[in-house]
């Protein structure tokens, strides 16, 4: 029987690439995000299931879980790709509203824990893949809340790997480096598509000398979701062109 995956944040650039990758690997995919209109074309492309839900709303997630089980009868893979930063949490540290940090932590950390509580309850064996960030490992300017939230995602990834091992569920994470997406495009590229000053600093600190592509993150997620990674759990896999390995000299 075909394996079934649920991808949160499926309407984003990275989430969409993960949906493409899992579908190409032969999985049936439920696409979960808050806005149905952003999911329908991608779902139609893969004969997927549109799941309109907020990752911070347990009742909506439970309805989405029921829809998946009613349609396909099983859940084998959960990818927690929902997340991101908020503009209010990127200002000067001494004027940073605590409410903005709370919002970022809720979106990234709570938005990983709650879907895992809901969907993993219906899983018998399988794999969970969380999405972290290079910001969890390095002090990057302007993203204090985001980096702290992603560090929490990595901690809970290891905790869940231990907690869910008796149920045959593996739990891992990927830590993407710099991939151009909607939320960071203006920070990394100017109107002409050339790197900004910040983008140039990122490229100088990335041994591969370029930004990543969404499909490169998705490929790592597909691997961690597959039997090829059957003895891998509690791991955080950097997919960052060497950014985390480079000391700058």
Q: Is 146 a catalytic residue?
A: yes
What pairing do the DSSP bridges indicate for beta strands 49-52 and 28-33?
parallel
List the catalytic residue out of 109, 119, 146, 243: 146
Residues taking part in catalysis: 146
């Amino acid at each position: 029987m075909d394996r079934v995956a649920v991808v949160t944040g499926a309407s984003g650039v990275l989430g969409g690439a993960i949906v493409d990758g899992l579908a190409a690997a032969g999985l049936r995919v439920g696409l979960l995000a808050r806005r149905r209109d952003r999911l329908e074309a991608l779902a139609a492309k893969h004969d997927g299931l549109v799941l309109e839900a907020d990752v911070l709303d347990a009742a909506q997630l439970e309805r989405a879980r029921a829809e998946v089980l009613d349609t396909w009868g099983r859940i084998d893979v959960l990818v927690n790709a929902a997340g991101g930063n908020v503009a209010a949490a990127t200002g000067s540290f001494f004027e940073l509203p605590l409410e903005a940090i709370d919002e970022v932590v809720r979106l990234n950390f709570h938005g990983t824990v709650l879907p895992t509580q809901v969907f993993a309850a219906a899983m018998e064996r399988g794999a969970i893949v969380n999405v972290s960030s290079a910001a969890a490992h390095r002090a990057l300017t302007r993203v204090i809340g985001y980096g702290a939230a992603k560090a929490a995602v990595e901690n809970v990834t290891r905790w869940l790997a231990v907690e869910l091992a008796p149920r045959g569920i593996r739990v891992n994470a990927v830590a993407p480096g710099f991939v151009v997406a909607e939320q960071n495009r203006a920070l990394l590229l100017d109107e002409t598509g050339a790197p900004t000053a910040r983008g140039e600093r990122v490229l100088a600190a990335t041994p591969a000398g370029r930004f990543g592509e969404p499909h490169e993150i998705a490929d790592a997620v597909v691997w961690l979701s597959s039997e090829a990674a059957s003895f891998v759990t509690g791991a955080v896999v950097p997919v960052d062109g060497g950014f985390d390995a480079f000391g700058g000299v």
